Amino acid sequence: MHSDQPIGARDALRVEDDGPVRTLTINDPPRNRMSMAFMDALEEEVGRIASDPRVRAVVIRGAGTEHFSVGMDLKELPDGIKRMGGPEPLFDQRLRVLHAIEHLEKPVVAVLAGYCLGGGLELPLACHFRLAAEEDARIGLPEMDLGGVPGWGGSARLTRLVGPAHALDMILRVKFVSGPEALRIGLVHEVWPVGELFDRAHDLAQQLASQPAGAVAGMLRCIVDAHERTLEENLALERRELLASFGTPDQIEGYRAFLEKRMPQFNR
């Protein structure tokens, strides 16, 4: 792996490439707080990823193996509000960054271990895949204990994923769930022992990166906001993506590989 992140941002966000997979690491171990510098660096990096055809999948993780993130660095809140010109612009940035991640036309895999709290859950909720540690994960939105509510889209995305009953249970009771419980309620896709978790996430990202990039982007466009459209609108969008993919080099390669009984080689 190699890093191409500018030195000025590397303190907060570490960026590494392994072929078509880019790994973004919250670099504040062990708790991996999401500082102002981290959010600035993440916003810039997501923009770079969106326009870089060499990147076909993304992994987001915390430094080390103890914790994904405890969320926003609350000690920075007063200075952050002053710097941004009020609380609304500060939280607008976080909503903007998570929206950009959710709407990347490249799959994003979040790796949840240890504390995944507040923004440390809201960021994974905006990702397309979530893998969690089998042991020691504590996943939740504790804002109610701070006298407030989730501020980065947590209630909306959590409800969409697990339904209102589980979302109310987690948010109003400040209930933290384990990796296996998160899997049971549909919050994560897979659970692995922490010793295997990060390799499994990277393997998943490599698998996703090996799929035809144009077709992957088309399916992300179809699925991510499907809940906001009618069935007829979703069917029409799927048809447009089908026609857009038909006759492309990857579609032809997939067809030939099927006939020749071999594995396809996409993205050439």
Helical packing angle, 36-51 and 77-84, nearest 10°: 60
Tokens (6 digits) for 149: 């509510």
From the list 45, 76, 102, 143, the catalytic residue is 143
Distance CA 174, CA 145 (A): 7
Question: Which ranges of the chain does DSSP label H, i.e. alpha helix?
Answer: 7-10, 36-51, 77-84, 87-102, 119-125, 154-162, 164-172, 179-184, 194-209, 213-224, 231-245, 249-259
From the list 45, 122, 134, 241, the catalytic residue is 122
Phi, psi of 101 (to 5 degrees): -65, -45
Distance CA 123, CA 94 (A): 9
Any bridge partners for residue 177, and if so which?
Answer: 139
Distance CA 35, CA 79 (A): 11
Q: In the Cβ-directed half-sphere of 98, how many Cα atoms lie within 13 Å? A: 21
CA dist 80 → 75, 92, 184 (Å): 9, 12, 37
Q: Is 122 a catalytic residue?
A: yes
Distance CA 21, CA 39 (A): 21
Any bridge partners for residue 175, and if so which?
Answer: none
Distance CA 87, CA 93 (A): 10
- State the DSSP code for 147: T
Rounded-to-10 torsion of CA 127, 128, 129, 135:
30
Q: Is 44 a catalytic residue?
A: no
Catalytic residues: 122, 143
